[in-house]
Structure formats: structure tokens, C-alpha cells
Structure 1
Amino acid sequence: MLKLDGVSAKYGKYLSIKDIDIDVVEGEIVVLLGANGAGKSTTFKTISGLLKATSGKILFNDVPIHQTAPEKIVQMGIVQCAEDRKLFPYMNVEQNLMMGGYIHRKRKAQLKQSLNDVFELFPILYEKRNEAAGLLSGGQQQMLAIGRAYMAKPKLMLLDEPSIGLAPLIVEQMFESIKNINQEGTTILLAEQNAFAALSIAKKGYVYENGQIALQGTADELLSNQEVRKAYIGA
């Protein structure tokens, strides 16, 4: 479904990612592991078209997208859920969700069904649907951010650090929800520092170091790798 072939990208003169090769097969959950600043978010921004690749190719269902405008990429079926959530704090929960379904705004029945799907996935959001997004707890805000991305009914969802700053119980619920979204037919590319939780639901993973991929393998291979365990699992 998604292929990055030798992708590099810069912020100004700073080379943030270099020669990135990633393959995501339809239906998979694939995780990008690495410390802050390793290049995971830059990779997402480059896939989304928010940052242009300086070299290499990005293919989505065999169609090159590395020169495509971000709004066109969303219409093709790739939706990103940013690390810092980017909610509209003064709009209520339901209004935030409806913004996520903007590309389907002329399909009223589909929007209503998508809204029901999100409320089924995150029942607390139904209870809070008339409350301002800025008044929600951190966990609820993350649910809203994921729910808003899901409203677009993406083929591929890019989830950037969904567990950051959340309590362990909420993290467990979050990853269960991500697994459910995947089982409903959405392919997931997940950037995470919580290696154990991410690899427990992923098919395979890539480990970033200093803007490059240092290691890759199946989830089981990475979980059993002593370097990965020492760096990201603490064992």
C-alpha cells in the first residue's frame, strides 16, 4: 500500500531523514520506533506532503505522491493524527469530529455513520459530545484526535505518538482502540516510543536513529532483540 524508497527530507539546510526505506502492506499495523528527534514525525510529514522529500520516492497504491499537495493526499486516503493532537479547543467534541469528516461533507448519511462509529469506538466522546475539546482530559483529547482522523474513513492512518503523556491504563485502552480500527479495515503506520505496547499489536517495525533506519524486522524479532529491549523496553 505504501512504499518509501530512499526518501530524504530537510528542514532548511538540516537533513532530518536520510535514505528511508519503508514498506507497509494493506491491512498491517507497522510501527516506527525511536527517541524524540530521531525522524519519525518528519517521515509522517513527508508522507502527508507537509514537507517535501528532497530525494527518493513515495508510492501509495503504486501512485507517486511525493510531489502531491497535502489536501490531495488526504483525498487519496492518507490521514495523519499529529503528536500534539491539534484539536480546536473552543469547539465542542462533535464539531471537532465533523471537521475530520470534511472531505465527506456532501455525504450526510456517511458522515452520520462515521460519527456513530467513532462514538461506538470511544463511548466517552458521546457522553462529552457537547463539551469543549479543551476541557477534556489528556486521554479523552487523544481519543478525540484519533476519532477525528477516523471520521475521514482513511485507507491509511498515520498515528504520531498516541500514547505520549498518558497513564498506563489509558495507554492500554488506546492501543486496543487502534487494534480495533485496524480490524475494521484501516491500515496503520504508528510512530511510538512505547515499544512494548506498539510491538504487541504490530506486524513489523522500523527502528530510527539519527534520521536513519538502524534496524527493522517483525514485531517478534524486535521484541526479542536485546538492543531494542535495552533502549526502548528497559529489559
Structure 2
Amino acid sequence: MLELRGATVNYGNFSAVQQADISVEEGDIVVLLGANGAGKSTTFRAISGLVRLVSGEILFKGDSIDGKSPDKIVQMGIVQCAEDRKLFPQMSVEQNLMMGAYVHRKNKKQIRKSLEEVYELFPILYDKRTNFAHSLSGGQQQMLAIGRALMSKPKVMLLDEPSTGLAPLVVEQMFKSIQQINNNGTTILLAEQNAKVALSIATKGYVYENGSIAVEGKPKELFSNEKVRKAYLGA
């Protein structure tokens, strides 16, 4: 469904991502692991059209999306939920959600259905639908960011560090929600530092080191890899 072939991204003379090969099948939850600055977010920015490749290609359903504008990529069905949430703090919860539905703005029936689905997934957002986004807790803000992304009816959702700054219990709830989103038909590409939780729901994983993919495999293989265990699983 989504494939990177030799994807390379530079910032000036600095190579942020080098020759990345990633394959995401429809229905997968694929996790990108790695420390801050390893290249995960840059990979997401490249997929979303926010930065350009200097070499390689990105394919969506077999067609190249290199050079397409971010709004066109969203319309195709690839939506990113950024690490720092990028909410509109002085707008209400529901107004934030409606911003996510912009690509379907002419289809009022679809928007109402999507809104109902988000509120069903995150009931607290319905309870707080008139509250300003900045008044929400960290976990609720993350729910809102994911809910806003869902409003565009994505085929593939890019989730960048959704557990950042959240309490362990909230992280557990968040990952259950991500599983539910996947079960409902959305393919997930997830960047995470919380390797243990991420691999527990993933179908496949890639480990970044200094902009390159150092290890890849199924969760069981990564759990048994001594290098991965020491670096990311505390074992």
C-alpha cells in the first residue's frame, strides 16, 4: 500500500534519511523505532510531501507520490498526526475536529458520520466538545489530534510519537485506540520510542540509527534481537 525505495532526504549538507526501504501492506501496523533525531519524523515529512527526496521514491498503491503537494497527498488518503499535535488551542474541540474534515467539506453527511465515529472512539471528546483545545489534558489533546486526523477518512495514518509525555495508563489506553482504528480499516505507520508497547501491537518494525534502517523484522524477531533489546527494551 505504501512503499519507500531508497528514500534519501538531506537538510543542506546533512543527510537525515539515507536509502530507506520501507514496505507497509494494507491493514498493517508498522512501527519505526529509534532515538530522537534518528530519521523517523523526517521520513514522515517526506511521505506527507513536506520535504522532498534527493533520491529514491515513495509509492502509494503502486503510484509515485514524489513531488505531490501535501494537500494532494491528504486527499489521496495519507494523513499525518504530528508529534507535537499541532492543535488550534483557541478553538473548541469540535472546531478542531471539523478542521480535519476540510477535504470532505462538500459532503456534510460524511462529516456527520465521521464525527460520530470519533466521538464513539473517544467519548471524552464529546463531553468536552465545546471546550477550548488548550484546556484539555495531554492525553485528551492526543486523542483530539488523532480524532482530527480520522476526520479526513485516511487510508494510511502516520502517527508520530503518540505516547510522548503521557502517563503509562494513558499510553496503554492510547495504543488500544490505535488498535481499534486499525481494526476499523485504517493502515497505521507509527513512529515510537516506546518500543515495548509499540511492538506489542505491530505487524512489522524498522529500527533507525543515524538516518539509516539498521534492523527490520516482525515483532518477535525484534524482541529476540540482542542489539534491539539492549537499546530499546531495557534488556
Which category of TM-score, normalised to the shorter sequence, fits these structures? over 0.9
The structural deviation recorded for 1:12 is: 2.1
The two structures have a TM-score, normalised by structure 2, of 0.99
Shift of 1:212: 0.2
Deviations 1:132-153 (A, max 9, x none): 0011000000000000001111
Counterpart of 1:192? Answer: 192
Amino acid at match of 2:77: G
- The equivalent of 1:94 in structure 2 is 94
How far residue 217 of structure 1 moved from its aligned partner, in angstroms, is 0.2
Would you say how many aligned residue pairs link Structure 1 and Structure 2? 235
Any idea what SS the aligned residue of 1:110 has? helix
Distance 1:66 1:92 in 2: 35
Q: Secondary structure at the match of 1:9?
A: strand
Gap regions ≥5 residues in structure 2: none
SS where residue 200 of structure 1 aligns? helix
Distance 2:51 2:13 in 1: 13
CA displacement, residues 149-184 of structure 1 (integer Å, 9 cap, x when unaligned): 011110000000000110000000000000000000
Q: Secondary structure at the match of 2:201?
A: coil
Identity between Structure 1 and Structure 2 (%)? 69
Matches of 2:23 and 2:161, distance apart in 1: 20
Please give the secondary structure, in 2, of the residue aligned with 1:10.
strand
Match of residue 183 from structure 2 = 183
Query: What does residue 219 of structure 1 align with?
Result: 219
> Post-superposition, which runs of at least 4 consecutive aligned residues in structure 1 deviate over 4 A?
none
> Structure 1 CA distance, aligned partners of 2:14 and 2:226?
31
Equivalent residue number for residue 113 of structure 1: 113
**Residue identity in the other structure for 1:111:** I
Work out the CA distance in 2 between the residues paired with 1:49 and 1:74.
10
- C-alpha distance in 2 between matches for 1:79 and 1:7: 19
Corresponding letter in the other structure for 2:85: R
Number of the residue aligned with 1:151: 151
- 1:21-100 equivalences under 5 Å are 21-100=21-100
Question: How far off is 1:100 after superposition?
Answer: 0.5
Q: How far is the alpha carbon of 1:13 from its aligned partner?
A: 2.2
Alignment map for 1:116-127 (pairs within 5 Å): 116-127=116-127
Q: What is the aligned partner in structure 2 of residue 12 from structure 1?
A: 12
Shift of residue 8, structure 1, vs aligned partner: 0.2
Q: Over residues 82-129 of structure 1, what are the superposed CA-to-partner deviations in whole Å (9 max), with x where a residue is unaligned? A: 000000000000000000011001110110010010000001100110
Match of 2:134 in 1: 134
- Report the aligned-residue RMSD: 0.6
Question: Partners in 1 of 2:146 and 2:203 — Cα distance?
Answer: 20
By how many angstroms is 1:228 displaced?
1.1
Task: Give the whole-Å Cα distance in 1 for the aligned partners of 2:15 and 2:221.
Answer: 29
